[in-house]
């Protein structure tokens, strides 16, 4: 007779330690069942002691108990290390944009942080800025397609580039603007409240959009050739400065909820820097008019 702890699937009521109403998932998940129930079950201990080779059986069971846990621990360590790198990078970026009054330099810094591996590591980022009653595509950074992405990432890996290194490559940033100009010119939206995109900007929070949640933005998704897009509004007080669009067009990686919330804090700093730079630019224009 097959031991219950060796079965892939259990019937309802077969295990007295599993509530079939609240823990039904354990009936069909032997790994989770082993970790959460079997290891503490006296019956397992009795079965192990009574079998012909208890040590061998125990060693076979160990990967079931520890393997996934160790994998999860490793994933948590990687996420922690990644978080530390991002905090360090964010500190550098915040310092750079705080000290700058050059709009293009600020936007380049922001987009680099969003797409660099030491930052958020997204595939592409787009900036749209508000001008009078219109929202216009201003700049973008990232690969156009999978082939270009592989080449870019290979170069970065071979050269061991940090965010600070990437920030020195303004020529690359300028090329990206020209590369994406045909798309940027089509990123044109009215600031009328009836505009579909405005619904997400007026929410003042980072929002994931796709065809299911917002079919009226299907044309935008098609233009960027993505299925999912993260919309990040940029507000300064009651003034809408623009927005940042982020996508993973190449890897199709999902957006982690924790990162989405972190982006909202990032957007506040970004908006303050952009607003200061635009005010400085306006002041320079006024001074030139008076000269």
Nearest CA to 246 out of 93, 89, 126, 109 is that of: 126
Residue 31 CA to residue 36 CA, distance in Å, equals 9
- Indicate if the alpha-carbon torsion angle 182, 187, 190, 194 is positive or negative: positive
Task: Output the pLDDT for position 61.
Answer: 60
**Angle of helix 54-62 relative to helix 42-50, nearest 10 degrees?**
130
Q: What is the pLDDT of residue 176?
A: 75
Q: Among 24-28, 100-104, 217-221, which range has the highest average pLDDT?
A: 217-221
Q: Which two tokens stand for residue 272?
A: 């303050």
The dihedral formed by the CA atoms of 207, 211, 214 and 220, expressed in degrees to the nearest 10: 80
> Tokens representing 163?
């965010």
At residue 168, φ and ψ (nearest 5 deg) are: -85, -10
DSSP string, 203-255: TTS-EEEETTT-GGGHHHHHHHT-SEEEEEEEEETTEEEEEEEEE-TTT-PPP
* Predicted confidence (pLDDT) per residue in 198-219, tens digit: 999 999 999 999 988 889 999 9
pLDDT tens readout for residues 169-190: 666 667 777 889 999 999 999 9
Q: Specify burial of residue 17 (Cβ count, 10 A radius: 0-12, 13-18, 19+).
A: middle
The predicted pLDDT at position 280 comes to 86
Q: How confident is the model at residue 166 (pLDDT cuts 50, 70, 90)?
A: low
pLDDT at 225 over 80: yes
Query: Whole-angstrom Cα distance, residue 50 to residue 121?
Result: 53
CATH superfamily of 100-290: GAF domain (3.30.450.40)
Interhelix angle 257-290/68-99, nearest 10 degrees: 10
Q: Which helix (H) or strand (E) holds 19?
A: none
Asked if 270 and 109 count as a contact pair (C-beta separation under 8 A), the reply is no
d(CA 155, CA 270): 28
Task: Sort residue 252 into left (φ over 0), alpha (ψ -120 to 50) or beta.
Answer: left
Residues above pLDDT 70, as percent of the chain: 73
Torsion of CA 162, 163, 169, 172, to 10 degrees: 110
Mean pLDDT, residues 113-135:
88
- Residues 127 and 107: their CA atoms lie apart, in Å, by 8
Mean pLDDT of the chain, nearest integer: 80
Q: Say whether pLDDT at 21 is over 60.
A: yes
């Amino acid at each position: 007779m097959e031991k219950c702890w060796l079965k892939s699937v259990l019937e309802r009521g077969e295990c007295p330690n599993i509530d079939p109403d609240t823990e039904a998932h354990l009936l069909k998940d032997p790994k989770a069942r082993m970790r959460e129930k079997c290891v503490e079950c006296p019956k397992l201990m009795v079965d192990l002691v009574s079998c012909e080779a208890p040590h061998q059986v125990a060693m076979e069971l160990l990967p079931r108990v520890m393997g996934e846990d160790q994998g999860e621990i490793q994933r948590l360590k990687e996420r922690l290390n990644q978080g530390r790198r991002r905090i360090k990078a964010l500190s550098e970026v915040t310092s750079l944009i705080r000290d700058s009054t050059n709009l293009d330099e600020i936007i380049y810094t922001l987009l680099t942080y969003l797409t660099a591996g030491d930052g958020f590591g997204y595939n592409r980022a787009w900036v749209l800025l508000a001008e009078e009653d219109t929202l216009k595509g201003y700049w973008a950074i990232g690969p156009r397609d999978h082939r270009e992405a592989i080449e870019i990432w290979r170069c970065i890996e071979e050269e061991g580039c940090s965010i600070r290194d990437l920030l020195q490559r303004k020529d690359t940033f300028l090329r990206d603007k020209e590369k994406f100009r045909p798309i940027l010119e089509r990123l044109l939206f009215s600031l009328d409240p009836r505009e579909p995109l405005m619904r997400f900007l007026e929410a003042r929070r980072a929002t994931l959009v796709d065809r299911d949640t917002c079919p009226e933005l299907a044309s935008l998704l098609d233009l960027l050739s993505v299925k999912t897009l993260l919309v990040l509004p940029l507000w300064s007080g009651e003034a809408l400065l623009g927005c940042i669009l982020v996508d993973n067009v190449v890897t199709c990686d999902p957006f982690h909820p924790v990162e989405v919330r972190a982006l909202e804090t990032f957007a506040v700093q970004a908006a303050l820097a952009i607003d200061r730079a635009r005010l400085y630019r306006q002041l320079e224009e006024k001074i030139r008019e008076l000269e």
